[in-house]
Amino acid sequence: MSLKNVSTPEINVRELEISIEKANFDAAVAKAYKKKVGSIAVPGFRKGKAPKSVIEKMYGSDFFYNDALNEILPEVYEEAVKESGLEPISQPEFDFGSFEGEEITVKAKFYVKPEVAVADYFGFELEKTITPVKDEDVNAEIERRRRANARMVEVTDRAAQNGDTVTIDYCGSIDGVEFAGGKDEGHKLKLGSGSFIPGFEAQIEGHNVDDAFDVNVTFPEDYHAEDLKGKAAVFACKLHKIEFEELPELDDEFAKDVSEFDTLDEYKADVKAKLTERSNNIANNMLEEKLVDALLTKTTVEVPAVMIENEIFSELRNFETRLMQQGMNLDIYMQYTGTTIDDLKEQARPQSERQVKTRLALEKIAELEKITVTDEEVEAEYASLAESSGLEAAKIKEQLLKEDVFYHLTLKKALDMLREKAVITEKTITE
């Protein structure tokens, strides 16, 4: 194999012209024949015993070419890329010349990373917005925790009212005919939650356990089921149980139950500290977004479409993983949201393009500023990931390649350098 030429047919595209000696190709054809001959039946020969020349005469002289190319091409291409010093970012497209003569010419075309220019990237003037944690924020968080620890108490001496959770059977019909999806038994419903169509929950209020009654409603014009839009329906209901949430008292006992602290005051102080940390993290994330925005205004790059498409694919794959963790998949999500895969791709496109441009800009800064990452720093990152995830470091190493950690830390160092050299003013939001 020899690399004859490297050309640039279009921006961010390279084409390698590679020659393969005919003798090497013929050896690959012979190897392909040995692998395939056992499955070829030729009249006059036992299966697997037909000579190569007979098969080629019967099916064409190029019958084994594809298999031969699959055999020899990966190694040939890899050697040519290595010799060229290029870094492909897409699968190659091959174009073959004549298979006659002393050598075979192959052209391999692929995308490469684009040239990036970043100017004046130190000294960005940025504003960091800080939102102090107020007493009402602390109280709201404690109330959320309080409600999470409420217990359900059954009601036996009054009718259902707003805020209660009722257990009902219901069966819906339109003009006396039941419709699909309009029937359930033992359904738990919190009155006032808005879980059912408008007017349904309010008509349960005032009824007692064991009451049988009708609920009359009209489906909204924008209801998701086409055959029910705007239709008047009657739901025959039976009320089986009424319950209400009994909230725990806000005292030291509550603090002991929900935290590691002995007093309510200590628990409140801890809640405020955690909310303050969360607020600071949000402020830092927003500052980082502003920093990236500023960086991109100073970045000149023409991103190949393939890089954006690859990023979109990665985003959708991550999104599907998150859906599966919630007991859903992409098909169900698209069905319920009325979206298509093309819709999701277009939704992901702006952020994906931003992500790619940001990485390219940070790579360039790391190159210009000669940023390095040591093996010790990589090991420390593995240890940090293990601690935060609760997994062993060895398990993390199996899931995350060292090169990926090295790359992540390199970009992080570049971003940290930009932040350190930026001019940051703080603004506190008081209202």
H or E segment to which residue 15 belongs: strand 13-21
The gap between the terminal CA atoms of the chain, to the nearest Å, is 71
For residue 431, the model assigns a pLDDT of 66
Task: State the average pLDDT over residues 28-51.
Answer: 81
Model confidence pLDDT, tens digit, residues 281-312: 999 999 999 999 999 999 999 999 999 999 99
What are the φ/ψ torsions at residue 124 (nearest 5 degrees)?
-60, 140
For residue 216, the model assigns a pLDDT of 97
pLDDT at 99 over 90: no
For residue 336, the model assigns a pLDDT of 84
Look at the block and give the residue holding tokens 């359930």: 184
Identify any residues that bridge with 153 across adjacent strands, giving them in sequence order.
244
Q: Give residue 31's pLDDT band: very low, low, confident or very high (50, 70, 90).
A: confident
Q: ∠ CA(167), CA(169), CA(175), 5° rounding?
A: 140
pLDDT at 68 over 90: no
| Cα–Cα distance, 117 to 295 (Å, whole number) | 11
Residue 404: HSE in the Cβ half-sphere, 13 Å Cα cutoff: 7
DSSP state letter for 84: H
Q: What is the mean pLDDT of the chain?
A: 92
For residue 44, the model assigns a pLDDT of 78
Identify any residues that bridge with 299 across adjacent strands, giving them in sequence order.
118
Task: State the average pLDDT over residues 90-116.
Answer: 87
Least confident of 54-58, 182-186, 307-311, 341-345: 54-58
Question: Which one of 1.10.3120.10, 3.40.50.970, 1.10.10.10, 2.60.40.420 gives the CATH number of domain 261-428?
Answer: 1.10.3120.10
Three-state secondary-structure class, residue 424: strand
Model confidence pLDDT, tens digit, residues 341-380: 999 999 999 999 999 999 999 999 999 999 999 999 999 9
Model confidence pLDDT, tens digit, residues 191-200: 999 999 999 9
Residue 331: HSE in the Cβ half-sphere, 13 Å Cα cutoff: 0
Identify any residues that bridge with 21 across adjacent strands, giving them in sequence order.
103
CA 195 from chain centre, in angstroms, equals: 29
- C-alpha distance from residue 158 to each of 162, 208, 242, 341 (Å): 12, 7, 9, 51
Identify any residues that bridge with 117 across adjacent strands, giving them in sequence order.
300
Per DSSP, helices labelled H in 186-328 are 252-258, 264-297, 305-325
Sign of CA dihedral 15, 16, 17, 21: negative
pLDDT at 98 over 80: no
**In the 3-class helix/strand/coil scheme, how is 314-379 assigned residue by residue?**
HHHHHHHHHHHHCCCCHHHHHHHHCCCHHHHHHHHHHHHHHHHHHHHHHHHHHHHCCCCCCHHHHH
| Cα–Cα distance, 68 to 256 (Å, whole number) | 73
Domain extents in the chain:
2-112, 151-246, 261-428
| Cα–Cα distance, 87 to 84 (Å, whole number) | 9
Instruction: Burial-class residue 69 by CB neighbours within 10 Å (0-12, 13-18, 19+).
Output: buried
Domain 2-112, CATH:
3.30.70.1050
Identify the CA nearest to 427 among candidates 218, 207, 127, 31: 127
H or E segment to which residue 138 belongs: helix 135-148
pLDDT at 102 over 80: no
Q: Give residue 1's pLDDT band: very low, low, confident or very high (50, 70, 90).
A: low
| Cα–Cα distance, 27 to 157 (Å, whole number) | 92
pLDDT at 48 over 80: no
| 125-130 vs 423-428, strand pairing mode | parallel
| Cα–Cα distance, 129 to 120 (Å, whole number) | 24
CATH 3.10.50.40 at 151-246, yes or no: yes
DSSP state letter for 312: H
